[in-house]
Amino acid sequence: MFNINKQEDVKDKAANLVDGVKIGVDNVTDKLKYDLQDEANEVLNMVHVQSEETKAQAIGVIESLKTLLGQYTSASNIADIKDQIVDKANQLKGIVKDEASHAYEVSRDRTVQTVQDKPIASLAVAVGAGVLLGYILGSKTHSNK
């Protein structure tokens, strides 16, 4: 009888520990989720501003193309027009590529910085996810036996 009570106590303590870890992990993941959402919103705002600037530059390139087309209306200058259009298109391609690369780098750097600034929270989320996954998989395996 003493052994059965001890086993029940151990089971109860284990269940309480799992519940406590689950609550702790939920709290940490909620905090981390909100922090990451804030960071993501900041990055999104930066990307939006950069995209607006890129849009303005693209409109400027288009306007200069319109001006060029207005200047060269004769058929003999079509080759020159084509070359200038290709140059302007390459220029626009470079601008868009640079802005996209910059936005990606900023997003990546901010994410890395968030994880580096909060290593304990990151570790807690990883450990909590592992514990929950083990608990879920273990309970399914245990209930099948």
The confidence band for 114, taking pLDDT boundaries of 50, 70 and 90, is confident
The answer to whether position 54 is within a domain reads yes
Give the tens place of pLDDT for each residue, 87-103.
888 888 888 888 888 88
The answer to whether position 137 is within a domain reads no
Between CA 3 and CA 49 the distance in angstroms is 68
- Rounded to a whole number of angstroms, the distance between the first and last alpha carbons of the chain is 25
The answer to whether position 53 is within a domain reads yes
Question: What domain range is 40 assigned to?
Answer: 33-117
The answer to whether position 112 is within a domain reads yes
More confident residue, 61 or 143: 61
The confidence band for 1, taking pLDDT boundaries of 50, 70 and 90, is very low
Candidates 23, 45, 39; CA nearest to 115 is: 39
DSSP 49-76: HHHHHHHHHHHHHHHHHHHHHHH--SGG
The answer to whether position 141 is within a domain reads no
| Mean pLDDT in residue range 115-120 | 82
Tally of domains in the chain = 1
The answer to whether position 12 is within a domain reads no
Give the tens place of pLDDT for each residue, 66-92.
777 776 665 556 777 778 888 888 888
The answer to whether position 73 is within a domain reads yes
Give the tens place of pLDDT for each residue, 2-49.
566 777 777 788 888 888 888 888 888 888 888 878 887 888 888 888
The answer to whether position 63 is within a domain reads yes
